[in-house]
């Protein structure tokens, strides 16, 4: 027997299937729209990054998911004390991974889903901005100095020295001197002394400012911008 009755009306069986098909199509379209919206938000406004290492302890622990503002520096300059996320390719990481394209795609998907970290994206604290002279350390004072002023750094991991080896760098325009809070575990600007660029990271590589720990829930908190004295906060 055909799907329509002799009068041309659809059969009862046929009329029951159409709403179900329309319903699934609506759900799929809604899911696709949600994914596209999330991709746009994460590409241009806010993103979430997985913390894979100890380099920013005690502020950030391995496994933390951190909310990063991609627009934080669209209307203001990067400041000393800010915690920034940046693309380390060409500085702390090679420009090309050397992996097959499919392996790179799997890494990107894992990072986007918050299941894995990235071996080319780093999170560090800004210690020096353009024009700053950043130095460490002397027998008289084991602290880092910026423009001759010693820094009190309460965020540094307990038991760590300000730096295990000395440096004296003047930051040029468009560059940053970045360090991890867990100094003995951090690959940062100090690791690149003597390399092209002298350990100074381009401001163009900064993805955004870390604003909040989202996960795990028991560690969820805002990441405040520091205020460590008039000299530290002098705008350039």
* DSSP annotation string for 80-148: TT-EEEEE-BTTTB-SS--S-HHHHHHHHHHHHTTSS--SSEEEEEEEE-TT-EEEE--SS--S-EETT
Catalytic site includes residue 55: yes
Active-site residue, from 13, 69, 91, 124: 124
- CA dihedral angle for residue 195, residue 196, residue 199, residue 200, rounded to 10 degrees: 180
Q: Distance between CA atoms of 177 and 165, rounded to whole angstroms?
A: 15
Structure-block tokens of residue 82: 């800010």
Instruction: Write out the catalytic residue numbers.
Output: 55, 124
């Amino acid at each position: 027997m055909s799907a329509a009755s002799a009068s041309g009306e659809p059969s009862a069986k046929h009329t029951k299937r159409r709403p179900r098909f329309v319903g699934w199509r609506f759900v799929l379209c809604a899911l696709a729209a949600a994914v596209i919206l999330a991709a746009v938000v994460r590409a241009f406004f806010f993103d979430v990054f997985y913390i894979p290492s100890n380099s920013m302890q005690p502020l950030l622990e391995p496994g933390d998911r951190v909310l990063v503002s991609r627009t934080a520096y669209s209307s203001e300059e990067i400041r000393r004390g800010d915690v920034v996320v940046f693309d380390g390719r060409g500085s702390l990481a090679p420009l090309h991974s050397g992996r097959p394209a499919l392996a790179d795609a799997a890494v990107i998907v894992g990072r986007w889903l918050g299941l894995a970290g990235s071996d080319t994206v780093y999170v560090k604290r800004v210690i020096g901005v353009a024009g700053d002279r950043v130095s460490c350390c002397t027998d008289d004072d084991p602290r880092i100095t910026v423009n001759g002023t010693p820094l009190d750094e309460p965020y540094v991991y307990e038991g760590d020295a300000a730096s295990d080896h000395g440096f004296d760098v003047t930051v040029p325009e468009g560059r940053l001197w970045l360090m991890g809070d867990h100094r003995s575990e951090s690959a940062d600007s100090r690791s690149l002394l003597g390399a092209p660029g002298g350990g100074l990271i381009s401001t163009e590589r900064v993805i955004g400012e870390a604003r909040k720990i989202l996960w795990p829930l028991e560690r969820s908190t805002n990441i405040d911008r520091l205020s460590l004295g008039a000299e530290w906060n002098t705008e350039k």
